[in-house]
Structure 1
């Protein structure tokens, strides 16, 4: 029988700070509000996992550019009056206790909102990240937490040694208790200090496949009173780098092993590659799970209209699109309400679509319409929402530029061309 998390558990989703590693996608929106896979937003992932786990009391903590995030939450997640469920945004605010300071980190953000955790019957707090792609039933993690009698439980995933330098790596004893932690170990000596025996992982029902490091996924369950004490008795600002490592010595911290798909979408490159990986025939993460679906805002859009002589291979096409004649789309994600003119080629690209449908009467004389103009070529690019791409445009980064621009409509990060939200690319532009 599955555990019931609806009565005694609250979820906190940490929305992160300025999202500088995802800039310019975070130029005018909070990181959790960044679109994903054509029709979702990053915040839909942890919230969907909560709902599918029977957890319906959810706070989202953020402070930067939260208007679009708040609008999405308000229009998407509404529960009936009988379950007491909610999804609420807790943005940084001035209070008598916290003064005028903004959140100084993930731990500081939770500390300044402890009053919302102090509700009758709440025994556990589930802390999640707002920028990861994975599917997990948190009831399994809670069962591990309860069975072990832990003060805190962290989700861990086996990784190869070559991947350890980008992650927080844990060391465990034979019972699964966390005894050591190294943030992004760079040397062989640091990795050796936290290396796990692959046989230990195999013995717990997860094939190690030679993986000998156990990475923190940044997902935690705390006993409420333990979390309150850890935060109130310290000035720690970050959960992953300070609160969790500090708790290892003074509290019983247990691991919950996980071996499904998990991707931290913290950079432009990881965002780009994660989106394109979902467009293949055998995606590593299944968007259409019947057992644990992904939720997002219902938009009631018409089906996508496709013209003549159109070739679409290995791609995701969202609702409400209009695709012209003689168009080729390959290994790409095409978002909601995307308009594509005739004789267009799109390859290895993420097109986020538009927030609205623009009629011809809405386009003033000389203005480039929202969408991709005829006779254009887009390759290896990200086109953010409401992009206006003119006719005869080529965006292929033919010069292999790694970084370009700060304020321009077209920027380059990690070698990926990005047209910013509401960006305009004039007719005949070549890059």
Structure 2
């Protein structure tokens, strides 16, 4: 895997996460008790044996750069490079971000370039994707999963033939076609693209000259390449159960973030973040966090009642507090007597004594954002 360059797209604003991304980049949002969202993609890169990883940053880059520097120090066999746009420039889209780094690609001269998103939760062995890509003789391979038709508007949706070759690709279609023989199910892109290097550079150069392009892989580059490209669909599989479709979540909304966070913390979690065969690595969230327990460095009163919740390091839970379905990010302080249900308490937020949240959503809406599924976001 030393002859592949991974380029991780980490510049998006993440506006649907509302207050969670007001002061930080979406990939920098804490998740899973001790990680940040980007740690899943970077761990997949390191676990897959990739030696060169470039992270393309833009929005609130300062919230992510220290974490990436820590990753580079921590990764003994991989170089993690931070790649902001050039001085006085911005990345105009996902494809433009890669195109602006074409000189680095030429300098490294990889056989393939792997383009990844920094804001998804999953475990994946990219070596398996590369093996299938090479065996098929593909010019581009797209990572994919099956999703319900009802969710298709949130994804790039593809159609494939019996051999797995992509015949059509539409970004967030209004009326997607179901998989033949699988009514109600479509094949969705994970935003993972493995390109032959020369083919990628050709596509990006052509896209850069198109005045009406938004320079996006899903909207422009992949659909425009299908007429002449050998494009293959690679399905995500579990690391330990390769005959089973893998777990993948786009945590692009507050509801999705809350649901995924609780899924990962449950007794029957779909991913084992400490699996020795495929651990999710992370530098410490701060200089004092060294232990791995999901409640490490937290202070919880003896009579507090904490149910199906995720507590990050530095959280303080006062006497008589009742929490159910809550995510308390680093440094959150929940004072005595608070009763909180189905809420996210952002980093370093303080709840005064006796605060009640999640019992009366109409009252909550007058103070906090409340999601369609009734999750309350307490942000700074």
Q: What is the TM-score when the length of structure 1 is the normalising length? A: 0.79
Candidates 161, 177, 194, aligned match of 2:149: 161
C-alpha change, 1:224 and 1:39, in structure 2 (3 Å) is same
2:224 maps to which residue? 246
Cα distance in structure 2, aligned partners of 1:71 and 1:264: 24
- Equivalent residue of 1:233, what SS? helix
Cα offset for 1:174?
Answer: 2.3
C-alpha change, 1:402 and 1:224, in structure 2 (3 Å) is farther
1:114-136 CA distance string (max 9 Å, x none): 11111244111101111101100
Q: How many pairs align?
A: 364
2:242 maps to which residue? none
Give yes or no for contact 1:397–1:417 (8 Å, CA) kept in 2: no
1:146-181 CA distance string (max 9 Å, x none): 001111000111233343343222111222110112
Give yes or no for contact 1:169–1:216 (8 Å, CA) kept in 2: yes
2:161 maps to which residue? 173
- The answer to whether the aligner puts 1:125 opposite 2:113 as a matched pair is yes
- Equivalent residue of 1:104, what SS? coil
Cα distance in structure 1, aligned partners of 2:202 and 2:364: 46
- Equivalent residue of 1:353, what SS? coil
Q: Which has the larger radius of gyration?
A: 1
- Equivalent residue of 1:118, what SS? helix
C-alpha change, 1:401 and 1:167, in structure 2 (3 Å) is farther
Cα distance in structure 1, aligned partners of 2:108 and 2:355: 60
1:78-116 CA distance string (max 9 Å, x none): 2678x5x3111111222xxxxx34111111111111111
- The answer to whether the aligner puts 1:110 opposite 2:98 as a matched pair is yes
1:97 maps to which residue? none
* Correspondence 1:109-258 to 2 at 5 A: 109-187=97-175, 190-191=176-177, 195-198=179-182, 212-235=185-208, 236=213, 237-258=215-236
1:399 maps to which residue? 361
Cα offset for 1:77?
Answer: 2.9
C-alpha change, 1:214 and 1:89, in structure 2 (3 Å) is same
Shifted more, 253-262 versus 166-175: the winner is 166-175
* Correspondence 1:22-171 to 2 at 5 A: 22-78=17-73, 83=77, 85-94=78-87, 100-171=88-159
Give yes or no for contact 1:371–1:386 (8 Å, CA) kept in 2: yes
Aligned-pair Cα RMSD in Å:
2.2
Give yes or no for contact 1:185–1:191 (8 Å, CA) kept in 2: no
1:182-226 CA distance string (max 9 Å, x none): 333333xx425xx3345xxxxxxxxxxx77421111111001111
Cα distance in structure 2, aligned partners of 1:149 and 1:126: 16
Give yes or no for contact 1:14–1:61 (8 Å, CA) kept in 2: yes
Shifted more, 387-396 versus 292-301: the winner is 292-301
Cα offset for 1:283?
Answer: 1.2
1:323 maps to which residue? 300
Q: What is the TM-score when the length of structure 2 is the normalising length? A: 0.89
